[in-house]
């Protein structure tokens, strides 16, 4: 895939201490659904920061992820075209995608997988990838792992303009302000490219064919209110509008202008956080909606999906690097013509035993339309010598049917697809063998 962007103007204003804090205290939140130092995580975890993304010149989420060990990517054209991701050989419907803790997927599709090509990179602070079955912590569709996109917080301002070949133009701006009792951040991004033909005739280099362009606009905001030192309220909204031209193989015509996709993605989150001494808690209500229309020589086809989630978690740190967390919630998955819901409850225990780091997790999911699922996870990290250490993990996972499958199959016998996996890794001296 060609990424035809060249930076011509870029200005980044970073709040003092932001980089230093992240460098000296690498905290991850995805491995066990709670904040913890990366050094105590047992699962294979990879963190890509916005500084690394800028340094390497990566332009899409897929381009970032293809540099993570165990991940492979396939494209059906240039920017905005259908993109598939595989983690340890499992496809997108076995990988849980999150944005700031909210599941993002297309419930109206045949599988519960996201439209990866439309996930914005413009507001990303870091991406965390956890490989292996994680359903014991995160539930459905985390059988292959979890990819968590964490967006920028208030305190860092960013502005960039990029131009490149294929008449590509990109603009991004992120503005934020901290004030007494809270903070506010706003971002906007625009991408427009003529692209190149996604389909060409045999023996042709495609230079004279009709180009398949792409346009995407992203905007959003976050606002946080600190009622006092223990209570915080947050609101977040992210919206993406994208249009992509492509060439269908039926009929086979590289110069067809009838084929196009339009997608509108909307993520809304309301969140309450509590922290006092060793006790922490979070209550979150979130809704993710995707509205898409496909155009072809046979006419338009539209679909709409919705994910509505209410979740809560309560954690207690009873010793340094040791805590226990209870979590539960409800999620409704609405497809184009059918829907289902499920409740869940789970417990995660992360602790130290001498020099050992350990994690145990157990989760139960209750579904209204098909069979329930119980999953778990065990992990251990053993220091050897110097910075060498040995890690071992075992987990069970499952992939839930999509709303499409629920609507078109006999749900009396329908049940989640189960996965079982383990890994052993030896790490140190800047290298890792898994």
> What gap in Å lies between CA 381 and CA 384, rounded to an integer?
10
Residue closest to 10 by CA, chosen among 185, 171, 205: 171
Q: What is the pLDDT of residue 207?
A: 67
Which helix or strand (DSSP H or E) is residue 143 part of? none
Q: Decide if 212 contacts 193 (C-beta within 8 A).
A: no
Q: What is the pLDDT of residues 21-63, one digit of tens each?
A: 344 447 888 999 998 998 889 999 999 999 999 999 898 999 9
For 373, other C-beta atoms within 10 Å of its C-beta total 24
Token pair, residue 341, equals 């819901």
Evaluate whether 396 touches 418 at the Cβ level (below 8 Å). Answer: yes
Name the band, by pLDDT with cuts 50, 70 and 90, for residue 249.
Answer: low
User: What average pLDDT does the chain have?
Assistant: 87
- Report pLDDT digits (tens) over 109-134: 888 888 899 998 989 999 999 999 99
Q: Where are the domains of the chain?
A: 6-433
> Average pLDDT, stretch 411-421?
77
Tell me, what's the pLDDT at 362?
A: 98
Q: Which residue has the tokens 């992120």?
A: 174
CATH of domain 6-433: 2.40.170.20
**DSSP assignments along 187-243, one per residue:** EEEEEEE----S---TT--STTSPP--EEEEEEEEEEEEESSSSEEEEEEEEEEEEE
pLDDT at 255 over 70: no
* Cβ neighbours of 161 (radius 10 Å): 14
Structure-token pair, residue 297: 């020589």
Selection from 148, 224, 149, 160 nearest residue 190 by Cα: 160
Residues 6+ apart with CB under 8 A from 347: 324, 325, 326, 327, 361, 362, 363
pTM of the full structure: 0.89
Q: In the predicted model, what is the mean pLDDT of residues 313-342?
A: 93
Write down the pLDDT at residue 8: 36
The Cα–Cα gap between 314 and 317 comes to: 10
Reading across the β-sheet that carries 102-103, which strands appear in turn?
45-49, 124-131, 145-151, 95-99, 102-103
């Amino acid at each position: 895939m060609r990424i035809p962007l060249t930076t011509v103007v870029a200005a980044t204003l970073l709040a003092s201490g932001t980089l230093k804090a992240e460098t000296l205290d690498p905290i991850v939140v995805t491995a066990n659904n709670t904040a913890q130092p990366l050094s105590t995580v047992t699962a294979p975890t990879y963190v890509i920061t916005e500084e690394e993304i800028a340094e390497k010149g990566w332009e899409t989420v897929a381009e970032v992820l293809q540099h993570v060990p165990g991940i492979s990517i396939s494209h059906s054209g240039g920017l905005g075209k259908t993109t598939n991701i595989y983690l340890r050989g499992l496809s997108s419907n076995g990988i849980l995608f999150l944005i700031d803790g909210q599941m993002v997927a297309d419930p109206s599709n045949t599988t519960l997988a996201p439209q990866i090509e439309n996930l914005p990179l413009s507001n990303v602070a870091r991406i965390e990838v956890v490989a292996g079955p994680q359903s014991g912590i995160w539930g459905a569709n985390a059988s292959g792992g979890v990819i968590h996109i964490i967006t920028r917080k208030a305190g860092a301002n960013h502005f960039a303009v990029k131009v490149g070949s294929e008449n590509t133009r990109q603009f991004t701006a992120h503005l934020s302000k901290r004030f007494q009792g809270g903070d506010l951040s706003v971002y906007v991004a625009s991408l427009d490219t003529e692209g190149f033909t996604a389909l060409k005739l045999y023996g042709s280099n495609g230079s004279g064919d009709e180009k398949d362009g792409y346009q995407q606009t992203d905007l959003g905001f976050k606002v946080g209110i600190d009622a006092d030192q223990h209570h915080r309220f947050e609101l977040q909204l992210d919206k993406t509008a994208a249009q992509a031209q492509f060439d269908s193989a039926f009929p086979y015509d590289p110069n067809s202008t009838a084929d196009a996709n339009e997608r509108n993605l909307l993520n809304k989150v309301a969140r309450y956080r509590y922290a006092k001494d060793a006790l922490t808690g979070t209550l979150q209500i979130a809704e993710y909606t995707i509205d898409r229309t496909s155009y072809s020589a046979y006419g338009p086809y539209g679909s709409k999906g919705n994910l509505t989630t209410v979740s809560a978690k309560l954690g207690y740190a009873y010793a340094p690097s040791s805590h226990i967390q209870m979590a539960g919630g409800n999620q409704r998955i609405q497809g184009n013509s059918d829907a289902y819901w499920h409740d869940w409850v789970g417990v995660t225990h992360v602790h130290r035993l001498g020099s050992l780091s350990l994690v145990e997790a157990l989760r139960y999911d209750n579904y209204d339309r098909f069979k329930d699922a119980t999953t778990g996870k065990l992990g251990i990290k053993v220091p050897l010598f110097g910075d060498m250490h040995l890690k071992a993990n075992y987990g069970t996972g499952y992939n839930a049917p999509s709303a499409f499958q629920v609507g078109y199959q006999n749900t009396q016998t329908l049940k989640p697809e189960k996965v079982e996996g383990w890994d052993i890794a030896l790490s140190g001296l800047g290298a890792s063998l898994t």
